[in-house]
Structure 1
């Protein structure tokens, strides 16, 4: 079980979600909260509820309040901390390993409930990887993916061909803006947390409150870069080799006319896990790993599309590295 070694006076206060976010959040009872954080009943009572001032209502706790404690207080056995380590497992290798051309096989299992609804069911093409499906599927009219059967269970299998790219940001204002985001975290002006949907919608206020996740960072950075006249595109990706590990970042058109990944959060995660001097952190300052392809826009690979809207369906998606 995790314990907390430092007294509250040696720790910065936890930055909890705003009250309006908490009101719509999932609730956990005391036993669920304690297990979620991976601490003993004694530590939960003396450290979490008392010293961390965990908000409580009717012997229950908001999910994102618990996440804030887990990340701000560095609980190594908590679900959020373990989730972070699992997500970054793809980067726990050499730079050559993150750059190598790689083939992945994937399987997408959809129930009748998944395939029933208004509009087209579309499996979209990734931005920087080659996707090939096994079987006969019709392309969309826009040519950006495949139409899947409606109103019936379907299993889609295929391959993804990826390769990494070692980049680096050349445009001085672009590099400076990236460093500004990093420095905001280094100086504890902003801390990484998972943010509620309401907090993501009000991303500027969330950032101002000193909290951010990948979505908030991507939206804030988009505003900053577009104010400087830079071309930006949002990417919604999946960590290959893991089940439904998702991430959002942006690409920026650099002065060499190449799209570069602008992903300070993965640098911060690398620093948190392996130290500030580890070379993997700087890789995400323009570099593209081979295990994290992105899909364009604010939705991922599978969408329900109508003439007015495009809805992300969050399918269960698994991929494994193909041995050549």
Structure 2
């Protein structure tokens, strides 16, 4: 497949299809050159988004500066099929159209977590000033179906129970899925309310900044949510109804690794996974550039998939920190994953 730059009017057509980041929490630091790397467009096309109404700040030397999350949403909603967000979702969700057994069978993955320090990733210009102090969350080897086979550099934190380690790591993990179903009708009703929020278009599935993820009720009321918002909202509603539930966060593994979150609820002593975003994407299919699979959408109400690596976090807290604060979305470009090669 040959990838081409987006037509001149495609990017601006995304404006109005998503809700921009509230300006009081926007981080307007990404220039048109950096944005063009993710949107597979010419920098002049990205710069024109300012005149089309995308929130920005003008810089005398660098031109309009945008919030990176807004640019990711432009890429996801422009419909070109060529932007990094569109391609990423398409490839990460491709496994949903595979035979059901392949969702659960044990699989060994090689994972690298080495966050980047510059918007746009390694291809962008080096950042000026000192690099931030980076800390990252470790895989949760105590979670059901997770076996950490190797971790480098070897982390004493694995022995003392710490959640975070400096800089990054490479790991080999074996993940085993489980075909399960939540049977409790009250839990199913709460689950369906959240899924219906997406499918009815009352809530738009889009990239949400970490500052808004931390206030999931506000995000939902604004009509926006991503997997972290949905997982936290679902877990909170289930706990309010008297169930033992929590939001989990880790990595969705495929050709690369992506930050992902889901909910766990305990039924009959077993932690079962609820993934409303997976269910939504599999329900609408091509609308979001992913396979349509009613069978996979149904499996998202209870099953554990062999591509989800949970990390050590109690309520879907961030996976990467710069100088003690949640790292920007673009830091996730430094997460890699691939199935272990067999000889």
- The TM-score with structure 2 as length reference comes to 0.70
Q: Does 1:282 align with 2:298?
A: yes
Distance, in Å, in 1 between the alignment partners of 2:35 and 2:185 is 46
Distance, in Å, in 2 between the alignment partners of 1:317 and 1:109 is 8
Change in Cα spacing, 1:240 to 1:68, as seen in structure 2 (3 Å) is closer
Q: Does 1:94 align with 2:111?
A: no
Structure 1: runs of 5 or more not aligned: 304-308
Q: Deviations over 1:103-134 (max 9, x none)?
A: 33556789xxx9x999xx97652412122337
Q: Does 1:226 align with 2:229?
A: no
Distance, in Å, in 1 between the alignment partners of 2:56 and 2:319 is 38
In structure 2, the residue matched to 1:63 is 68
- More deviation, 172-181/196-205: 196-205
Q: Does 1:266 align with 2:278?
A: yes
2:90 aligned to 75, 85, 88, which one?
Answer: 85
Deviation at residue 73 of structure 1 after TM alignment = 3.8
Distance, in Å, in 1 between the alignment partners of 2:114 and 2:198 is 39
Superposition pairs of residues 31-50 of structure 1, within 5 angstroms: 31-34=33-36, 36-39=38-41
In structure 2, the residue matched to 1:253 is 266
Larger radius of gyration: 1
Deviation at residue 139 of structure 1 after TM alignment = 7.8
In structure 1, the residue matched to 2:125 is none
Change in Cα spacing, 1:172 to 1:155, as seen in structure 2 (3 Å) is closer
In structure 1, the residue matched to 2:148 is 131
In structure 1, the residue matched to 2:189 is 176
Deviation at residue 240 of structure 1 after TM alignment = 3.3
Distance, in Å, in 1 between the alignment partners of 2:173 and 2:248 is 17
In structure 2, the residue matched to 1:72 is 77
Query: Pairwise CA RMSD of aligned residues?
Result: 4.4
SS in 1 for 2:92: helix
2:225 aligned to 192, 212, 219, which one?
Answer: 212
- The TM-score with structure 1 as length reference comes to 0.74
Structure 2: runs of 5 or more not aligned: 116-130
Distance, in Å, in 2 between the alignment partners of 1:40 and 1:147 is 39
Distance, in Å, in 1 between the alignment partners of 2:40 and 2:147 is 41
In structure 1, the residue matched to 2:24 is 20
